[in-house]
Each structure stands twice: as C-alpha cells, then as structure tokens.
Amino acid sequence: MKTLALSIELSTIAVENTGQPISLSDFLARIKNTLLKRTDLLGRFRGSRLDREEDFGADLHINEYRLDFEKHSLLLQMIRLQARGTWEVKGFRFI
C-alpha cells in the first residue's frame, strides 16, 4: 500500500499533461520532481538516461528513459506526437 500514493501522484501528472503541448524536458522534470519526494520508497536519485528512441515517422516518437534510484530503477516509456506543429506527450507508462 505504500506505493498507492505514488501511483496516484504519477497518474495525476499523466492526466494533467497528456495531450497538452509540453516539452520533453519539462515533462521529465515533473516526473522526476514527483519521484524525488518519495525517497522512503525509492531511495536517493542516482541519475537518468535515454535507453531507447524509436521514430515512427517525422511526427511520432517513442522514448524510453531509465530513472535510477538507490532502491529501484524505473523505466518510463513515452509516446510523443507532433500535432499542429507542437510536440505533445500522448501517453506514458512505467514498464
């Protein structure tokens, strides 16, 4: 049950930002800042890196980022779409 509050926080970020014009760096910062508050579950933040990037044309990308913490590593997969000339995060999930 300790992870329920974290799941709710991450779901809120998803609802607030999915389909909205937002830069990839801003979106990642919001996720990271939420996770940094949960050192009780994850431990201290050690770093992040791009693990995989796939392009399905000029306007559809899938990015996977690894967020490393002391206790766990989280893999974040994002689907980004360039709609009306602006990149949007259309969805994300932890895998």
42 exposed, middle or buried (CB, 10 Å; 0-12, 13-18, 19+)? buried
Average pLDDT score over the chain = 84
What's the DSSP call for residue 8?
Answer: H
CA angle at residue 75 from 73 to 79, to 5 degrees? 160
Q: What's the pLDDT tens digit per position in 22-38?
A: 778 888 888 888 888 88
pLDDT of residue 60: 92
What separation in angstroms does the CA of 64 have from each of 21, 67, 74, 81, 85?
A: 19, 10, 10, 15, 22
Which CATH number fits the domain 4-94, given the four candidates 3.30.70, 3.40.1350, 3.10.450, 3.40.50?
3.10.450
Report the distance separating Cα 27 and Cα 91, nearest Å.
Answer: 11
**Which pTM was predicted?**
0.75
pLDDT of residue 19: 64
